[in-house]
Amino acid sequence: MSPWVFDLLGLGTIGSPALLLTVFGLASLAPWPLSERAMARWTAACVSSGLISLSLILAIMWGTGLRHVVVEIGDWVSLPDQGFHFHLKFIFDPLSIPFAGLTFILTGVVGAFASRYLHREPGYRRFFQYFAVFLLGMVVAALAGTIETLFLGWELVGLSSALLVAFFHERAAPVFNAQRIWSVYRIADAAFMIAALALHRAAGAGDFAILAGSDAWPMGESPLTSTQALGVGLLLLIAAAGKSALLPFSGWLPRAMEGPTPSSAVFYGALSVHLGAYLLLRVSPILELSTLLCAAVVIIGLSSALFGAIAGRAQTDVKSALAFASLTQVGLITAEIGLGLRYIPLIHIIGHASLRTLQLLRSPSLLHDYHMLENAIGGRLRHEDRLARRWLSASLRRRLYRIGLNRGQLDQTIDRFIARPFTRCFQWCDRMERRWTDSLAGRRSRESDRVAPGSSLGEEP
């Protein structure tokens, strides 16, 4: 098979979401915005063309027996004399194709759902613009052949995620929650970037063919030493934990449900929440080098699953309960990765993403569904946690219920020990600066102190 066929189809897979984002971006600058119908059609067309391209690649690979196809775009930027290259490269292998396919299918379904669900909503266009950013980010991250390319997609997913949580930005709560999510994402991004840097230093490249071996996933072997793998792997684990809401970053996941239901479904039920697990799968040859690292992955995964199971039972709204249910499954998937399984977690991701998308999309009509069921059976549905009653004492159940209801006090702990001291430290610096400028000016030096809430000083009063 000629390589240009793969290049063409690969570009079709990546280019379709890029085209969608370009069209929506340009349309937002034009004085006449796209209509709802046009936006929905553009989304459907680009998702379909991307999925068709991917399916053709899969069919050809199946037919020819290939397990690993590389599509090289080339150097985005390079300084050859300094050995600096930012290489754009995409790989199609048994890991990336299912994940990219899942992305196209679920975004297509959710896009079609959202075009009706958000009909005549003031933020309809905004939703689809961010949705296009998300789609491009997910596809780039799924097919990335270098760690830099994966980071590129990773960042796009994070931004669109935070902006969509704040979709109903006329209310304060979604905005505060979006800010918190963005904060966790920035921590994860920083860890990812430092890990990428460390990988460059250790292996001399960010190419997965070098970092995780040139054999098709999951057969590759990493050239890193055990110590290097432990250091880099822990950083990647922090990045994955931030993105997938694993402990200790789990507090943001129920907050993310403030966004519109379609975005909650595709981000936190299906795709974005699995991106951390996907990253761990992609670098699995590195994980295999360190038993300690694998143990850390298993511990974080299992503890997150346990926490999700406890907290999920105490939630009083369906989306939060589903969020913690997602966390439980993602925790289990992470533990599976730590235990050395490769295809099982991938299948688990696909199954869980599909089920959770369906559940979240149905969640607005949950009460209606319950009424239908109750009418059908002629009585109330029974909810008894028999397992917990049988195995746990009443006091332990009460204690666990309190932990679940308070969501483990995770956010409060971060606020108390990180955010508040940080803010107080810089507020103290601000006061010291005020004293210094006041003494230099010989009077009150800050005009901005006179800006009262709701007042209007004007630029040149």
Partner 1 sequence: MGSLRFPWLELGILLPLLGAFWTQRRRDPDVARRDGLIIAGLTLGCMVVAWIDFKLAVPPGARDLWSPIPRPSGGEFFAIDELSAPLPAMGALIYYLTILGTLRTKAGEFSISRTLLSESILLATFAAATPWGLVTMMAIGALPPYVELLRRRRPSRVYLAHMGLFVVFLMLGEYGVSRAASHAEQPLGPILLLTIATLLRSGVAPVHCWMTDLFEHATFGRALLFVTPMVGAYGVARLVLPIAPDWALEVISIMSLFTAVYAAGMALVQRESRRFFCYLFLSHSSLVLVGIETATSVGLTASLCLWLSASLSLTGFGLALRCVEARVGRSLMTEFHGLYEHIPMMAGLFLLSGLASIGFPGTAGFVGLELLVNAAAGAMPFVGMSIVVVAALNGLAIIQAYFRIFAGPPRATSIDLRIRPSERVAILIISALILAAGLYPQPGVSDRHQAADRILQARAGNASATAARSDAGTTMAPGQAGKLVERVAP
Minimum CB separation from partner 1 for residue 73, in Å? 12
Q: CB-wise, 291 or 427, nearer to partner 1?
A: 427
Minimum CB separation from partner 1 for residue 182, in Å? 5
Q: CB-wise, 86 or 113, nearer to partner 1?
A: 86
Minimum CB separation from partner 1 for residue 181, in Å? 10
Q: CB-wise, 256 or 265, nearer to partner 1?
A: 256
Q: CB-wise, 169 or 371, nearer to partner 1?
A: 169
Nearest to 212 by CA among 201, 203, 220: 220
Asked if 150 and 236 count as a contact pair (C-beta separation under 8 A), the reply is no
d(CA 22, CA 210): 33
Minimum CB separation from partner 1 for residue 167, in Å? 10
Q: CB-wise, 367 or 457, nearer to partner 1?
A: 457
In whole angstroms, how far apart are CA 293 and each of 223, 320, 337? Answer: 16, 31, 11
Asked if 66 and 73 count as a contact pair (C-beta separation under 8 A), the reply is no
d(CA 6, CA 89): 13
Nearest to 337 by CA among 362, 304, 314: 304
Q: CB-wise, 62 or 84, nearer to partner 1?
A: 84
d(CA 135, CA 153): 9
DSSP for 213-246?
-SSSTTS------HHHHHHHHHHHHHHHHHHHT-
Q: CB-wise, 374 or 438, nearer to partner 1?
A: 438
What region, left, alpha or beta, does residue 184 occupy, with left being phi > 0 and alpha being psi -120 to 50 degrees?
alpha
List all residues 6 or more positions away from 151 whose beta carbon is below 8 Å from its beta carbon: 189, 192, 193, 196
**Structure tokens that stand for 146 in this block:** 């270098």
Minimum CB separation from partner 1 for residue 333, in Å? 26
Q: CB-wise, 239 or 361, nearer to partner 1?
A: 239
| Interface contacts to partner 1, rule CB under 8 A | 28-29, 75-79, 81-82, 84, 86, 122, 148, 151-152, 155-156, 159, 162, 166, 169-170, 172, 175, 178-179, 182-183, 186-187, 189-190, 193-194, 197, 200-201, 422-423, 425-427, 429-430, 433, 436-437, 440-443, 445-448, 451, 453-460
Radius of gyration of the chain (CA): 24
Minimum CB separation from partner 1 for residue 252, in Å? 14
Q: CB-wise, 140 or 280, nearer to partner 1?
A: 140
Minimum CB separation from partner 1 for residue 426, in Å? 4
Q: CB-wise, 136 or 332, nearer to partner 1?
A: 136
Minimum CB separation from partner 1 for residue 424, in Å? 9
Minimum CB separation from partner 1 for residue 226, in Å? 20
- The three-state secondary structure class of 191 is helix
Minimum CB separation from partner 1 for residue 193, in Å? 5
Using the CB atoms, write b or e for 424-461: b if 16+ within 10 Å.
eeeeeeeeeeeeeeeeeeeeebeeeeeeeeeeeeeeee
Torsion of CA 334, 340, 346, 349, to 10 degrees: -20
Q: Which residues pair with 74 in a beta bridge?
A: 88
